Structure 1
Amino acid sequence: MLKGKTIVLGISGGIAAYKAAALCSKLVQAGAVVRVIMTESATKFITPLTLQTLSRHPVHIDTFHEYDPSVVSHIDIADSADLFIVAPATANILAKMAGGLADDMLSTTLLATTAQVLVAPAMNVHMYAHPAVERNMQLLADRGVRFIEPGTGQLACGYVGKGRLAEPEDIVHAAGLWFAQSQSLRGKKVLVTAGGTVERLDPVRYLTNDSSGKMGFSIAEAAANRGAEVTLIAARTTAEAIGGVTLVKVESAEQMLQAVLERYEDADIVVKAAAVADYRPVAVADKKIKKSDERLVIELERTTDILQTLGERKQGQYLVGFAAETEQMEQYAMDKLHRKHCDLVVANNVAEAGAGFNHDTNIVSIYGEEGLIETVPLMQKRQVADRLLEIIVQRMSARGAGE
């Protein structure tokens, strides 16, 4: 998976920098083109000549040292990367990345790249557990940076604990897995719905729900990272737009239904993560409703069940529904799966702390025809989305092999 890929290897100044030589060598042996950037501190632990010899390319240290006058080095390197690995990543470079600082060649190039960034931290056990470092890592994870967990053992400072740089072969393996994953949905069309629909009462008031859309947006991003052509149909949401994903904005349940049906026939995978209103006002006032009596009675009617409609029209699409519940989660999830002809149902108890609407985290249980497949514990919605996509890819592959 690494053959012909350009990997930028950023080396920051910790004692584990000596392992970067082995990492660079293994990446080159795997067929990758490796371009190395070192911080000034990293050169105190290992020489640039070593990395230059192993990578067979110049090693970049100084932002203002331009080897080729026809390009700006940090932009050229940033643009060339298929994957950007930072190993070892010290607390200092993590803080720079989190804060968006660009005061040396490595931090400047990291700020300029659009490639996936894979970070392998290495530091003292107490530094690794410091709230500032944990916060920086969480912020970076929220932006899509992936981490390779450090090992536990004897550290150079004499402590025994978590903070040792992952072994070079483990980092190479992680890089290979990312490239494999990034191709797993290539050629597939994925349709995702997200956010809470809005049902108007009048020009200034509406009925809606607490959905932030973050789960659906995370799923769309995870699918795009796997090479899929992704269309995201979003109602009211607080999530930010995603590069490489076609965003279609809608408001009401009816608008979402029409937008989905227009694209359903061409879709390979449909993940219905939106929180769609079950009812809408029978009459919508064209002017603001004024106060009059002590009570206001609003008549509601059922909206069209989008997921059920998709299930009834399914012609080979892999259909995934969501079930936000407050009780009897498994019973309701399995009922939804069978009644609406879903391939998977992702259920969560929105009453649980850290799960459901308006959180960056979630706790879900994933159900298939055979019942509970997996319970995903409390984690970031990006991570939940990644796990869900892994399960979808695995089960689609198994289904295809069995046909």
Structure 2
Amino acid sequence: MKRTRTRLADGRELLYFAADGEAVPAPPDPRQLPPVSTASQLRWDPLLGEWVMMASHRQNRTFMPARDDCPLCPSSDGRQTEIPAPEYTVAIFENRFPSLSTGAHLDDVDVRHPLVDVRPGYGRCEVVCFTSDHNARFADLTPEQARLVVDAWADRTAELSELDGVEQVFCFESRGREIGVTLSHPHGQIYAYPFVTPRTRRMLDVARDYRERTGRDLHDDVVAAERDAGVRVIAETAHWVAFVPAAARWPVEVHIHPLRRVRTIPELDDAERDDFATLYLDILRRFDRLYDAPLPYISAWHQAPVGDDEGLSRLHLQLFSIRRSADKLKYLAGSESGMHAFITDVLPEDVAQRLREV
């Protein structure tokens, strides 16, 4: 993999990723841009024991521009975008409207609450452009292109994990207007958090309790049970298994686990990365064939926190959609939103069967 590093007009970092030997033009950014906001802050929720990120400047971020105004397409014909190059394979840059920033600072913030700590919203938010083709989907990539994205995720995970104050790196993709996507160009994001996220903390606590009670690894046992049962397995390869979890929360939900115990994306070897690219494309294409229109989805990598020294974490990807039928969406109603107690309308075994059939 070839990586080329440059800067945008406002100082944000931009990286191009390409196959070895591929030419990577990296022209300068000629735009005149205002400074990026560094006003993000964290506030401690004393009732849940969680950090909440606040970034009021994001209210004015770009929202579903026309195709000709897409900021993630290559620059061309005198129109300058976030990517100055006339073409690219994979491009990653710091978000212009970040929830977290390495330059975050507080200016006389006083919430007048003794139990609510306030800190600068330190961290980093990056945008990952999977392809320069505005009309493509991740599922349209070749295995070689998908593998390059995996390598880029690995590169960014390793580098961001080295930043002082970063505790967790999260690579993800949100696709579809129904999910809340604000740009239609195929892209994902990477968040480098200054804390361990609530979901990861909960998973670590459950895994720790399981180990203390049984002396066994929870992730190993979950994967083994799904493989033994077989009824929810969508596909299995030499290095990975994809299945609908037995207690799936979402109408369409698939978890993809490596068969070897791995903590982060950078730890995957070449064979595992190649194998994942092929399997992941297969699962995404099954998602898009389930109904007449492509499924809106969130694809979320779960990696070990930077400071995880207990060996409780296991790398895996959770892919899920809010579409519960061809013309209906799953809304987080009273029980889900108010109590985070999920109610699912479909059985995991039925979803698995349908995904296998398509």
Greater helix content: 1
The structure whose Rg is larger is: 1
Q: TM-score, normalised by structure 1?
A: 0.25
When normalised by structure 2's length, the TM-score is: 0.27
